[in-house]
A and B are shown apart, each in its own frame.
Chain A
Amino acid sequence: MTHTQETPLLEVRDLRVEISTKAGKFFPVNGHNFTLNSGETLGVVGESGSGKSMTAMSLVRLLPKHAARVTSGSIKLEGRELLSLSRSEMRKVRGRDIAMILQDPQTSLNPSFTVGNQITEALRLHAPGPRSTLRERAIEALRKVKVAAPEHRVDSYPSQLSGGMRQRVVGAIAISCAPKVIIADEPTTSLDVTVQAQYLRLLKELQEDTGMGIIFITHDFGIVANLCHRIVVMYFGRIVESGTVERIFAKPAHPYTEALIAAVPKLHGHKGRLRTIPGSPPPQSEQPPGCPFAPRCEMADTRCFTELPPTVDADGDGEHLASCWRVAGQ
């Protein structure tokens, strides 16, 4: 938790997002703290509804209008506070400094425009140039994401491409402006396993080439293990555990993390029954006084139900944090 001399690429402090509905207020992002360095991949893991996507959208300040807003905290990109930028300044950050890859390749490309058009649109906004140059750069971007015959594909419409191809195009859009950070929000969930693996390899290669930071959002610990350097685990709008991949896999501090890891099918491990976590998270509108995971936790005691556990340093070196009475109480 100590500030290093070097400014991290992205630094999120005490970020809190509030959603107010008729049913009441709740916080899908509740006091997040994490950092991302250049060339690093940060995995954000959690079940659906844990606030992962909301975290991603709050980083680019694209929360659903009216319904959700950031109430406190700070997001610093290379030391620059994003939350205090004007709307047009923020628009310049999007796509140029922070790019995103969305979940669903089926719907994340606009069916009315050609692939090239959609790539150059970002370029036009952030790095204008003559038409022919833009087109060249779009083709270049496609080539980078290993799209075959990019000169040809650049004039295709999304409906003419396969799902994997479309997701590559989304990737091409993301990298076209050479962003510093890419947020990938479950980019592979709707792809089949082989395509998924290719895609992840591609991301890794791109990162090695450009040194960008990647925030990789997923519910799948299996992917995280191969791809990420560090992990934050989210549950019910809170970061319950964070640390390096090695630490967390070796010694998960939070029972939830443990359960998630146990849910990953092991290719070479024992053939035991796949574990699933019993129960489901509490409804968003109910804010339990204690640890939100307590009702599903096999190790919960009375304090877990009544008091929110503090975030503590699990290993004593600041590289592994967790919010659990089991750790805090030690």
Chain B
Amino acid sequence: MAELHLQSHRLQNLWQKARELPLLPIGVLLIVFIIPALFAEVIAPHDPYVPNLRARLQPPVFFGGTWDYMLGTDRLGRDILSRILHGAWYVLAVSMIGIAVGVVVGTTLGLIAGYARGWFDGLVMRLVDISLALPAMLLALALAAAIGASFLSVVIVVGFALWAYFARQVRAEVLLLRNSDFVARSQVAGASHLRILFRHILPNVMNTIVVLATLQVGIAIMLDASLSFLGIGIPRPTPTWGLLVSDGRDFIATDWWISFFPGLAILLTVMAANMLGDWLREQLDPRQRQI
């Protein structure tokens, strides 16, 4: 009960701390990721899909290029900036949906497995083993061959790659928590299993989930990039960042801007997401707030 009290107290505190929000990561996320994802149509200076063969391989503005193509153009004369801006939406969608799938499936199974133990626990842990033992990349290749590479297949792969991590971690924590005093007290007090799970245990594993989920933003974006590298990402001409980096990778030594700026977008976004996650964790985790 003390723990419960602490939880709500912590959330209140979070609101009070809103004034101390980490402006840097939030700003970076907004500028590089969220705003482009939502308003690319409005802010992109060029069409991201239409080649302009007269403007091929323009360097970025401070490297001999023009303001018209601020970050340069690719080999078909498409504006890199516009492609990055338009790609943001797909990156956002893939990572968010993929992680959501991972969190929901992984957390639910992990919670129940850790709490119920017995055969269900065994089953879930075998599933976890199976899913971790099948490299996501190989599964993606096979899946792409089977149902074709598409937005859906990428989301499935990302979700598949992530759920087991949540399930494992959550289960491990639940195993520790279920023996703790406050769970015992709730059980004695006659609380239903469902109530204990979701009112008492879930809030206490929330921190782990938040920390893992922030780690996973990076993993999801990186996985998307790796899939593009292997040619089984979201199909062309969709300019996901992974595809942009992957397409430009051969030209790192010469037309470096083709892959550098999308790579930078990935770098900044993942870094900012991780920083934000760290901040959240410090706010949510009482043990770390002690002096």
Contact = CB atoms under 8 A, between A and B. Distances in A.
Interface string B258-291: 0000000000000000000000000000000001
A228 B225 CA distance: 70
Nearest to B291: A67
Interface size class of A (residues with CB under 8 A): under 10
A64 B290 CA distance: 11
A67 B289 CA distance: 13
Contacts of B291: 19, 21, 64, 67
Interface string A57-85: 00000001001000000000000000000
A62 to B, nearest CB: 14
A64 B291 CA distance: 8
Interface in A25-79: 64, 67
Nearest to A21: B291
Nearest to A68: B291
Nearest to A66: B291
B182 to A, nearest CB: 14
B288 to A, nearest CB: 14
Contacts of A64: 291
Interface string A180-211: 00000000000000000000000000000000
B181 to A, nearest CB: 10
A21 B290 CA distance: 12
A237 to B, nearest CB: 16
Contacts of A21: 291
A67 B290 CA distance: 11
B246 to A, nearest CB: 46
B35 to A, nearest CB: 32
A250 to B, nearest CB: 38
A284 to B, nearest CB: 11
A67 B291 CA distance: 7
A61 to B, nearest CB: 17
A215 to B, nearest CB: 23
Interface string A11-33: 00000000101000000000000
A18 to B, nearest CB: 13
The 4 closest A-B pairs by CB, nearest first: A67-B291, A64-B291, A21-B291, A19-B291
Interface of A: 19, 21, 64, 67
4 contacts: A19-B291, A21-B291, A64-B291, A67-B291
